[in-house]
Amino acid sequence: MEIIQSEEFDAYWRRSGAAPDCDDVSAAVAEIISAVRSGGDRAVRDFAARFDRSSPETLEVPSGAAAAAYDTLKREDPDLIAALEYAGGNIRRFAEAQREQFSDFECEISPGIITGQRIIPVERAAVYVPAGRFPLVSSVLMGVIPALAAGAGEVVLASPPLDDGLPDRRILAAAHLAGARRIFAAGGAQAIAALALGTESIPRADLIVGPGNKYVAAAKRILFGEVGIDFIAGPTDVLIIADGIYPDGTGAAGGRDPADLIAADLIAQAEHDPDARARALVPDRGLADRIAAAAARQLDSLPTRDTARQSLDAGGLITVYPSMDEAVRIANITAPEHLELQVRNPEPWIPLLRNYGSLFIGAGAAEVLGDYSAGINHTLPTSGSARFTGGLSVRHFLKTVTTLRCTGGSGYAEALDAAEVIARAESLAGHAASAAIRKEP
């Protein structure tokens, strides 16, 4: 991990940017997309043979396989099924509460002019579930449950095939539990291309959501427009703003150095991917050194230490800030996917923080709860895209469309007059005539 002073931050950021450079994969991904466009299923299978653990003859998972995986797992690993059901319940309750915030309405904004909004769910939503490095069982729940809460017509899922030609059976079980209709054994850019364009056996989706590595992210970026996407949910990142003091003000939780807890949260991020970014903002160099030392210690016994080390070596950063105002400034520039506010008194800072996917308020609100079980969504904007979007929610599966009704009256006449005048200014005589012909003679 690198430790810098806050006055060095701006230069660091200009040099390194929000995320590792993914431009290097754009050309390769564009080729994958065009191969799938012309070759359909066969191209998907060819790429699977190159990049995945198997190349399944049949891309669609047979119906019944997900239910069977669920039944088997319920016997063999009942704790996992119970945990997924618990998490799914929280995710569903939150998604349903979000859905209630969207409503149809009509309002007469001027006599005879009635404008309206209608909320219409997308017809077919596809959820991508990553499984290159780790089978992200939780991503099934995070994608499928909000889609169903939104009322999407059909929810399908794609995830890379393992050795047996099927997605990880825990992913299948979770898909059954969450209610995905059809499942495809396809991964990476080829899966995104197939879902966006349609192939012989994979139906074309209206919207693709879900996280993925840089190949998945690049494919979503390129195909956006031909298909709807949620946003770029690429290699993950976290920023922890700490003051080294626990909420009880003692400076330690159960005698434990806060540095241990901060290091644990940084490592939990770094273990995802060498491209993951784990960063902290701390008030003094001593705490920064203790975090770096704690991270080194904790890594030793971690099974995922190789990936975590690569990530921390490449972009792990602790910045020492002189004041909370400066910490807030840096946090807003960083626009992290996850922002943890591990400070004694978080409240005053919350309104000043503007760019993040999810905010974790206080030392107890661990990011891992957001990842899995608390109910908020873990599919969040990365690469600084929290500057302009929040994370996955029911909103992504809903279209806010508008309606117009005209019932005559003074407002109607005024609107026709104004339309005619503006049309003439644009030299669009046909538009002007279309307004004029509706006027009272």
Ligand X SMILES: NC(=O)c1ccc[n+]([C@@H]2O[C@H](COP(=O)([O-])OP(=O)(O)OC[C@H]3O[C@@H](n4cnc5c(N)ncnc54)[C@H](O)[C@@H]3O)[C@@H](O)[C@H]2O)c1
Active site residues: 337-338
Nearest Cα to 127, choosing from 24, 25, 229?
Answer: 229
Residue 373 binds ligand X, judged by CB under 6 A: no
Rule CB under 5 A: say whether 168 interacts with Zn ion.
Answer: no
Strand-pair partners of 241: 281, 341
For residue 59, give the nearest of 158, 207, 193 by alpha carbon: 158
Residues 73, 76, 82, 83, CA torsion sign: negative
| Pair type for strands 277-282 and 317-320 | parallel
Q: Give the integer Cα–Cα distance in Å for 139 and 273.
A: 16
**Partner whose binding site includes residue 52, from ligand X, Zn ion, none (CB under 5 to 8 Å by kind):** ligand X
Show the tokens assigned to 89: 């319940």
Is residue 236 at the binding interface for ligand X, with CB under 6 A as the rule?
Answer: yes
Strand order in the sheet with 2-5: 2-5, 317-320, 277-282, 237-242, 338-342, 358-361
Distance CA(36)–CA(226), nearest Å, equals 14
34 binds ligand X (CB under 6 A): no
Interacting residue with ligand X among 19, 36, 52, 263 (CB under 6 A)? 52
**Closer of 275 and 371 to Zn ion (Cβ):** 371
- The verdict on 235 binding ligand X (CB under 6 A) reads yes
Angle formed at CA 109 by CA 105 and CA 110, multiple of 5 degrees? 145
Query: Does 220 contact ligand X by CB under 6 A?
Result: no
- With respect to ligand X, which residue has the nearer C-beta, 244 or 375? 375
Ligand-binding site membership of 76 (annotated) = no
User: Among 103, 114, 106, 167, which residue's Cα sits nearest to residue 136?
Assistant: 167
Q: Choose which of 206, 265, 273, 420 interacts with ligand X (CB under 6 A).
A: 273
- Told to check if 188 binds ligand X by CB under 6 A, we report yes
User: How many Å apart are CA 63 and CA 19, to the nearest integer?
Assistant: 39
Tokens of 364: 């107890």
Q: How many CA atoms lie within 13 A of 23 on its CB side?
A: 2
Dist. CA 418–CA 369, nearest whole Å? 54
Which CB atom, from 93 or from 133, has the smaller least distance to ligand X? 133
> For residues 373 and 382, which CB has a smaller minimum distance to ligand X in the complex?
382
Compute the least distance from the CB of residue 78 to ligand X, in Å: 25
Question: 213 vs 334, which CB is nearer to ligand X?
Answer: 213
- Which tokens go with 342? 């591990």
Alpha carbon distance 367, 340 (integer Å)? 7
Least distance to Zn ion from the beta carbon of 377, Å? 12
Q: Which residue has its beta carbon closest to ligand X?
A: 188
Residues 357-386 touching Zn ion, rule: CB under 5 A, are 371
Q: Is residue 131 near ligand X by the rule CB under 6 A? A: yes
Using rule CB under 6 A, residue 130 touches ligand X: yes
Interacting partner of 388 out of ligand X, Zn ion, none (Cβ under 5 to 8 A depending on kind): none
C-alpha 193/C-alpha 28 separation (Å) is 13
Instruction: Find the shortest distance in angstroms from Cβ 233 to ligand X.
Output: 4
Residue type, 64: G
133 binds, among ligand X, Zn ion, none (CB under 5 to 8 A by kind): ligand X
Pick what 294 binds: Zn ion, ligand X, none; C-beta below 5 to 8 Å, kind-dependent: none
Q: Are 273 and 237 in contact (CB under 8 A)?
A: no
For Zn ion, which residue has the nearest CB?
Answer: 371
H or E segment to which residue 258 belongs:
helix 258-270
| Shortest distance (Å) from residue 161 CB to ligand X | 8
Which residues inside 53-112 make contact with ligand X, applying CB under 6 A?
none
Query: Is residue 340 part of the contact set for Zn ion (CB under 5 A)?
Result: no
| Dihedral (Cα; 96, 102, 103, 104), 10-degree rounding | -130
Q: Which H helix or E strand runs over 228? A: strand 228-229
CB closer to ligand X out of 44 and 113:
44
Choice between 139 and 319, CB closer to ligand X: 139
Extract the tokens encoding 13.
């950021």
Which residues in 4-23 contact ligand X (CB under 6 A)? none
The residue type at 73: L
| Interface of this chain with ligand X, residues 396 to 425, rule: CB under 6 A | none
431 carries a ligand binding annotation = yes
Residue ranges that bind ligand X, judged by CB under 6 A: 28, 51-52, 130-134, 136, 139, 160, 187-189, 211-213, 215-216, 233, 235-236, 272-273, 275-276, 337, 378-380, 382
Residue ranges that bind Zn ion, judged by CB under 5 A: 371
Binding site residue list: 128, 190, 213, 236, 269, 272, 338, 371, 426, 431
Binding site residue list for Zn(2+): 269, 272, 371, 431
Binding site residue list for substrate: 236, 269, 272, 338, 371, 426, 431
